[in-house]
Amino acid sequence: MSSYLHTKEDSQVSYETIPERLRKRAEKYPDRVTIVCYDAEFKRHQITMKEMYDGAVKFAKALMKLGIKKRDKIALCVPNCVEWMSYDIGIMMTGAYSMRLMFGLADLKSIIKGCSAVVFGSKSIWDNFLSIAQISDNGKVSCEACPDLKFAIDVSNTHRPANALSAAKLMAEISDDDEVEFPYIDPEDIASINQTSGSTGVPKGICHSHFECLNLPDSDFNESFRFITFSGRPMGYIGGYPLTAVTRGTLHVSGDVEMLNDPKNLDFVIKIWQSEECNMVGVAPQDVKRLSDRDFSVPMLMSSGDMVTRDTIENALKLTGYFIVVYGSTESFTVSYKVYTPENISEHQQGLLGRPVAGTEIKIVDEEKRVVDIGKTGYLYFRSKWIAKTHLDGTSCLENGWYPTSDVCYLTEDGDLIMVGRSTDFIKKCTVKLSIKLIEDYIGRHPSVDAVVVVPIPDQAVGERVCACVTLRPNHEFNEEELKKFCTETMPHPDDFDCVSMHPDYILYFPSFPFLPSGKFDRKTIASLALKKIKKCSNK
């Protein structure tokens, strides 16, 4: 049998735009609260369907009065707030493309090049922007590196640079009597441009159409059951974007990202989950361990990750009856998932990604792009009607209609997808490739370890050495010898790896890890810091 699998889909295809979908929701459920956000001062804010739609219309009219037209690109980098979707969908209503930026992922000049305007809302990104551009009267922008930029809009008011336009003021000046004819938008027009996380290289701009966004699995409105979801990720990131608030009628609960992800605020975050009655809580795999000793429960926990460990699942099931592990990407949204319960945890195996979501095809191919037999490893390819087709530069995301990945996987006879690792997720020590994810899995089982990131350290003798960087749980001290002993006792013996040990050559303590704006570990920075620590020690 060949490694090909197609999961059929029963839902009907939707052929409309995101603004049109929001308009219908606002008409039918005008007073339904759709987004709740907690700001950096822990204050709660909310917005209804009608308020979101009305805000989008006003923002769109304001943009068109400024001269924004169809196919313009608008750089959007706004902290999580209840008005976020009004800005985003307002841009779509003009026929322009909402270019969602993740500040810090790449050089600002390169990612706003070709944009007609910027819509920003934080001091850090304004400071960065003002280092390359000048804002004159009425928000007009001059920027040698980005000559297409026309104006700058601020949504924060507290961080607004001199001369930048105020989104609140622009929208307040729009009345219901203002006649503006919005352009025709085709469902297959670009709705947004998203940045990838940059975890596997330089961030790419991924174009998604309205059609792709509205035809995700389980995008139909459900009258009988309403999800109340929590996400601590930025709304500009695909994993934190509150699309289901529009498609499925979900109540999306979020807030200031820095506040929500500060370990000191964990008790407050748990209170949010409880007071908002969240029934689907999104958590990063590295956060599950520190939650496991808290006295609370939620109906469902969800985590996105490619190699979730059994320890993580066991800790999650102390808090919930259902732990959902989702595998996906900026290009694909969701590819596969696995629902763990106390009854089926025995099904877990290293790298299990579960079954493809409805409407998805997957195949495993070798270096020559030939489909391999069931059980054999190769590169994962997938396709569905919601996968992005093009990059921002116009190049295709696909190979003959399939999205290619660098993820090394295999299919079981039962239809489960198993990831061995990414082609870059190995340390080549001598002639042996050691799995970074597997090493992290073993070290992460130590009770003192909060999070672990394994990085390669260049070495003339063996090529690369294994360096384990760890952060610790509260009330634990770093003990290198104890951790090395634990690795010796729990990891496979070297003879299973052609006499090359997977035991760490270095174990380094980090007070905390740097993160990418997407919420993933910044592995490049961690590797650079680890190398500096090792060189400093060797020079003593």
Helix (H, G, I), strand (E, B) or coil at 179: coil
pLDDT computed for residue 454 by the predictor: 94
For tokens 């390359």, name the residue.
132
Given a cut of 70, whether residue 224 has pLDDT beyond it is no
Q: Is 126 exposed, middle or buried (0-12, 13-18, 19+ CB in 10 A)?
A: buried
The pLDDT tens digits of the residues spanning 94-138 come to: 999 999 987 555 578 878 888 999 999 998 899 989 999 999 999
pLDDT computed for residue 441 by the predictor: 85
As a whole-number percent, the residues of the chain with pLDDT over 90 amount to 62
Instruction: Name the DSSP letter for residue 24.
Output: H
> Cβ(348)–Cβ(330) under 8 Å?
no
> Cβ(302)–Cβ(282) under 8 Å?
yes
pLDDT computed for residue 21 by the predictor: 94
The pLDDT tens digits of the residues spanning 264-297 come to: 899 999 999 999 999 999 998 878 888 888 888 9
Helix (H, G, I), strand (E, B) or coil at 84: helix
* Between residues 460 and 76, the one the model is more confident about: 76
Exposure pattern of 133-164 as b/e (b: 16+ CB <10 Å)?
A: bebeeebebebeebeebbbbbbbbeebbbeeb
Helix (H, G, I), strand (E, B) or coil at 357: coil
Q: Facing residues of 31 across strands?
A: none
pLDDT computed for residue 198 by the predictor: 56
Confidence of residue 540 (pLDDT cuts 50, 70, 90): low
C-alpha Rg value of the chain to the nearest Å: 24
Given a cut of 50, whether residue 86 has pLDDT beyond it is yes
Stretch 235-239: mean pLDDT, rounded?
89
Domain boundaries, the chain: 47-195, 426-538
Tokens at residue 350, please? 């290293």
Given a cut of 50, whether residue 302 has pLDDT beyond it is yes
**Mean pLDDT score across all residues of the chain:** 89
Domains 47-195 and 426-538 in one fold: no
Classify domain 47-195 by CATH architecture.
3-Layer(aba) Sandwich (3.40)
Classified by CATH at the fold level, domain 426-538 comes out as GMP Synthetase; Chain A, domain 3 (3.30.300)
Given a cut of 70, whether residue 9 has pLDDT beyond it is yes
Residue 468, C-beta contacts closer than 8 angstroms, at least 6 positions apart: 439, 440, 443, 452, 453, 454, 483, 504, 506, 507, 508
The pTM score is 0.84
pLDDT computed for residue 497 by the predictor: 43
Tokens at residue 151, please? 């104006």
The pLDDT tens digits of the residues spanning 368-420 come to: 999 999 999 999 999 999 999 998 888 999 999 999 998 899 999 999 999 98
